[in-house]
A and B are shown apart, each in its own frame.
Chain A
Amino acid sequence: MAHILVVDDSDTLRLELATALKQANHVVIEAKDGRDGVHQCESEKPIDLIITDLNMPELDGISMVKEIKKMANRADTPVFMLTTEASQELRADGKAAGVMVWIVKPFNAAKVLPAIDKVVAMKKAG
């Protein structure tokens, strides 16, 4: 059971993700763009994992990750990027910014949920 921050400007997609994650007994926090995502991280809420889109208004996904990584209490939070983009340049940019996992849309629960469990367990173990 993890606290997962879902960042995406598409209501539908957030709905889809949240539904799947809640069914897997996770707690979901939603943000509708990069700026909103930063605000959520600035709060004291427990956030074990961040799943974010890349192309968003206000602040794009990678820029948001860079900002979050500067925060002391969030620097270690694992980040999954869920996007339509698949280019190598962007993957490299993401990796450099601190993105751990790159997922190409559409969202496949069968693949993503196990990955979440694995990453969360890893973090708990230290």
Chain B
Amino acid sequence: MASESSKFAGSAAVMAAVKHAAKTEGSGQLRDADLQLSSVVVTPEAAVRDHWMSLILLAGGGIRMTLKAFYNTNLCRRVLADITGQKPEEIADHFVSDLMRELLNRVGGSAKRMLGDAGLTVGLSLPLVTRGFDQIFSNSTNQRDTDFEHWVLKTKYGAVAMSAELTRAPADCLNKFEWIVPAPKTDADDGELDFL
């Protein structure tokens, strides 16, 4: 928790914010308070990471970011089995994809809030679920003004790989952007409620 590693600038800041959101929301959504996040390097050949892929788009303030989660339904079924009390094999397929949509929704929403608080206003798309194979059709990794990050969320139920692709237009739009890692929340901080 050194102060140098808790303050980020430029595209690194955006990435850090997103990864922070992923860890936070991932823990909540995937019911694992001890979720670990670790970075990985992905070769082009291994572009197709897993059978399923869900994705969501953040756009605004000069940036466009595509967030993807690569997963296998086993993890989701086990999580849902815990929630509903059913057996994993009894869980309907749409619940499974819904869980991953909701995860990206939360991650995207959380990232949007954090970026907003730090001065970068972005909009959020709907999350979509598709097959991992469609990763093949993504844009080439060698685009200008584009940053990539890959990481893995490791939970007690299994792992979910994630990626973030950040495009800056103009290239220098993030030069003044900064973000600070927020203090860890307690359960009490969850779900703030306001009477309007």
Q: Using a CB–CB distance below 8 Å, which chain A residues touch chain B?
A: 10-13, 15-16, 19, 55, 57, 83-87, 91, 94-95, 99-108, 111-112, 115
Q: Using a CB–CB distance below 8 Å, which chain B residues touch chain A?
A: 25, 28-29, 80, 83-84, 94-95, 98-99, 101-102, 105-106, 108-110, 112-113, 116, 124, 126, 187, 190-196
CB <8 Å contact, A101 and B194: yes
Cα distance, A107 to B191, chains bound together (Å): 5
Q: Considering only CB atoms, which chain B residue lies closest to A115 in the complex?
A: B193
Cα distance, A86 to B114, chains bound together (Å): 10
Q: Give the dominant DSSP class at B's interface.
A: helix
Cα distance, A111 to B189, chains bound together (Å): 10
CB <8 Å contact, A108 and B94: no
Known: A13-B102, A104-B191. 4 other contacts (CB 8 A): A83-B109, A99-B196, A104-B192, A112-B193
30 residue pairs of the A-B complex, CB under 8 angstroms, read: A10-B105, A12-B98, A84-B110, A84-B113, A85-B109, A85-B112, A85-B113, A86-B113, A87-B113, A91-B194, A94-B196, A95-B196, A99-B196, A100-B195, A100-B196, A101-B193, A102-B194, A103-B194, A104-B193, A105-B106, A105-B109, A106-B28, A106-B106, A106-B191, A108-B187, A108-B190, A111-B192, A111-B193, A112-B191, A112-B193
Query: With contacts A87-B116, A94-B196 known, is A11 near B109, CB below 8 A?
Result: no
Q: Considering only CB atoms, which chain B residue lies closest to A98 in the complex?
A: B196
Q: Considering only CB atoms, which chain A residue lies closest to B189 in the complex?
A: A108
Point out the residues of chain A lying under 8 angstroms from B192, CB to CB: 103-104, 111
Q: Considering only CB atoms, which chain B residue lies closest to A54 in the complex?
A: B109
Cα distance, A107 to B187, chains bound together (Å): 11
Point out the residues of chain B lying under 8 angstroms from A84, CB to CB: 105-106, 108-110, 112-113
Cα distance, A93 to B55, chains bound together (Å): 28
Cα distance, A95 to B194, chains bound together (Å): 11
Cα distance, A87 to B114, chains bound together (Å): 11
Cα distance, A107 to B112, chains bound together (Å): 18
Cα distance, A42 to B110, chains bound together (Å): 34
Residue from the list A11, A85, A108 in contact with B191, Cβ < 8 A: A108
Q: Considering only CB atoms, which chain A residue lies closest to B27 in the complex?
A: A106
Point out the residues of chain B lying under 8 angstroms from A83, CB to CB: 109
Cα distance, A87 to B190, chains bound together (Å): 16
CB <8 Å contact, B195 and A103: no
| Residue in B101, B112, B187, B193 whose Cβ sees the most chain A Cβ within 10 Å | B193
Point out the residues of chain B lying under 8 angstroms from A95, CB to CB: 196
User: Which 5 A/B pairs are nearest by Cβ-Cβ distance?
Assistant: A84-B109, A108-B191, A95-B196, A11-B98, A102-B194
Q: Considering only CB atoms, which chain B residue lies closest to A53 in the complex?
A: B105
Point out the residues of chain A lying under 8 angstroms from B108, CB to CB: 84
Q: How far is the CB of B156 from chain A (nearest CB, A)?
A: 18
Q: Considering only CB atoms, which chain A residue lies closest to B103 in the complex?
A: A12
Residue from the list A12, A91, A106 in contact with B190, Cβ < 8 A: A106
